[in-house]
Amino acid sequence: MHTQCSLRTSSFKQVDVFTAEPMRGNALAVVFDCEELDTAGMQRIAAWTNLSETTFVLPPTQAGADYRIRIFTPRSELQFAGHPSVGTAHALLEAERIQAKEHLVQECGAGLLPVRVVGEGAGRRIFVRAPKARFAAMNPAAAAAVLKALRAAAPAAVHEANIGLDWILCDLGNERAVRTLQPDMQALTALRATISAVGFAVFGRAEPARDYALAVRAFCPADGIPEDPVTGSANAAIGALLHSTGQLGAPGASYRASQGREVGRDGYVDVRVDAATGDVEIGGQCVTCVDGMLALPHD
């Protein structure tokens, strides 16, 4: 027999990020009014939503920040992630919880990140500047293991990247190689135990006459996300890698990436690379799919 308890609640939105069409982007849960939640409570909610990320909005603690967020996957907390940053800004603006202005500052585990708002209403696009990317050479044996787990049909360049979180990036060359890839998820999960990265992202140049420059896919099976629908941080890392290796010529310093079609979505990430500094912004449109109240877990 269950005892009746009074419920604690928070305002809640579920936002589809990197799309203007509901159910076609990457879903994000945004929880407001959660100052009383501890880390365990936040992780419990993120596991329950079972989305790739859930964000919790808190008052800022650093001067200059407009708001603060904590970001959780179903299994762990992240210091930065792209689609939660874009989607949370959308949710805050839509709910009129922050002042509508062109430039905002988000506080998160990775520090203070500039957020840029372009337009308004349904056509509004939101960009976040990713943390500065760092790259490291991957030893040949580890790179070969990654390509084997991905089941890549041909040799490909493999890079380790940190952009507030770690990614393994694989340049497969062309769109067809990306679209037809069928990774061994068990092998990728096993590799995650030996490689410090949230997941594995692959990319290739788009076929002619596409309305995007790159095709991208991202795999995070060790975090319970076999294939992420649309991934901001991975796209930011790819943009920074192309800049650092002098390969931005084809897509250009301002380009669009397509991600998600292999899992029934159709997301678009707009990538902006500062040619002088290498700083990368990622952004796009958002649409709210659920707007209401969330019953919080009891202690």
Q: Which of 36, 53, 102, 227 is catalytic?
A: 53
Neighbouring CB atoms inside 10 A of 193's CB total: 8
Active site residue 102: no
Q: Which residues are catalytic?
A: 53
